[in-house]
Structure formats: C-alpha cells, structure tokens
Structure 1
Amino acid sequence: MSDVLLFTISLAATVLGLLGSWGAYRRRGAASGMRGAAWSMVPMGAYLTGLTKFLADLAFSPVKWAGVALFGLGALLYVVSGVMLRSGSPAEDEPRRKSAPKEPKSAPKGAAKSELESRRTTPGSAVDPDLAEIEKILKNRGIS
C-alpha cells in the first residue's frame, strides 16, 4: 500500500476519533474525553512508527501469515510444555519411578508409636485430631 494512502487513513481516523472524544468530553466528562483522545492518537502513532505499513503488508502476504502461524504454534507448544512440566505428565514420570530408590515401608517404631498416641481421640469423637491439636495450641496462646 502506498504511504500517502496509509497517511490519509491514519490522519482521518485520528481526526474522527478526536471529534468523538470532544463529544464524549461534553456528555460524560473529562475522563471519558481523555480516554477517547488517547485511543484517537493510536492510528497516527502507528503510521509514524511504521506499524501501519507492516500491518498492511502482513494482511496481504501469505508468507508473513505463515510466519505468524509458526510463531503462534511455537508459543502454544511452549505453554503446553510448561503445563506438562508443572503437572508431571505420566510419560516423563515413568523413568524417574524406575530409577528412584524405594522408600522404606515402615517408619521407625518409636516415632510411629508417639505419633499415633498423640493423634488418638475418644472413639465416638467427631473432631479431627489435627484440628483438635490446632485448637489446643490456639487456646494455649490465648487466641480462641
């Protein structure tokens, strides 16, 4: 597209936007007018930075669209791989399971007994032992 045509379109969009901003200022106040004026500056700023020419060339070029598609595919693959790494996909966990040393099946007897004794409650109690312990700590500190 020619530069003269792009300049004319950008200038017209900016002027029309500024006129609409003036109307918004009169009807809804200064904040709406300033917001409209800010958006009105975008087309002329895009022309002056060369973004308009790039976008016009992009719209009519299949090669550039192929590049945009590859960029999007790369971004999508990156995001999906990040999700897979966070959740720990089964395909990647398999080698780790085989090489990881097995944990002992039972804990030391002294530690297990004391833990069980501290968690015991009366048989008919509906209170969770962990919550009872937290309540006890809070009462000792005067927070209840």
Structure 2
Amino acid sequence: MLTSTVCAAVSAAGLGIAAITAYRKRFLAATRIAAYSLIPIGLVMTGVIDWLAGIVFKPTVWAGFGVLALSFVLFMTTRAVERRRGVGSRKERRAAAADRPDAVAPVASAPSLGAGRAAAQPAAKGKGAPAKGGAPKDDFSDIEAILKKHGI
C-alpha cells in the first residue's frame, strides 16, 4: 500500500517536471521525462511492485538466497581444491594421461651444434634404432666434452 502511494507520487512529480519542460519548448525532452515518469505507476497497476515487495520483505526468501550462496561457495571451493591437487575421477585421470604428450620430443632433446649436423637425424632413425655398428649411437659425447671443458 505504501509502495503504491510512493510510486504514484513519483509519477505525478515526473509528469509535473515534463509539463514544465514542455512549457519551455523542449518537447523531445518533455516526452522522454513523461515516459520515464509513467513507469512506476505502470508497475503498480500490473502488480509487479506488490510482487517485489512480497519477495523483499519475506525472511524465507532471504534464507533461500543465503542457502544458494552457501551452495555456490562450497561448489567453488571444491573445484579450487580439485584443481590445486589435480584430483579427478579415475576416468578423467586416465584420459588426461593418455592425451598428454611426452614431456620432451626426441628431436628437441638432440643437441644442435650447427649446420654440419642435422637436428632431425635422430628422429629419422627412430627411437632406439641401432647405428651402423649395431649398437645404439651415443649422442652424449658432445655434452661430456662441454662438461669436461668447464671442469665439471
């Protein structure tokens, strides 16, 4: 009841301001002010204001919003903990492990020492492919030489 009276007063004041604006020959602004001032009385007439007042002043509605907020906080907390720990269902962990590529590609781990030596050479032979002598080729000799040079 009080909300209806307040909305009617606001609409009446807005229509008064629109009339003064129209008197000053600013018809476009006056029409816009009149349109805005008719909104509160229209909301009262359709019953929207009573519906909103019923929602705002009921404690059970606010308790419901509190329960929804608590549910949201709990859900987001569990998601954050799962992401931090990397926990998921067994099916999700297996799918993630199967989709994850190797940490380092074989070509990327081969040393590239210049144009005289092709970096793609180990990839062409395949992983663990025997060299000309029948044993796997030892590519760590370059690294050993660098470490010895630096005294390591």
TM-score bracket for this pair, using the shorter chain length: 0.3 to 0.5
TM-score, length-scaled by structure 2: 0.45
Of the two, which has the highest radius of gyration?
A: 2
Q: Name which structure has the greater RCO, CA cutoff 8 Å, separation 6+.
A: 1
Q: Which has the higher helix share?
A: 1
TM-score, length-scaled by structure 1: 0.47
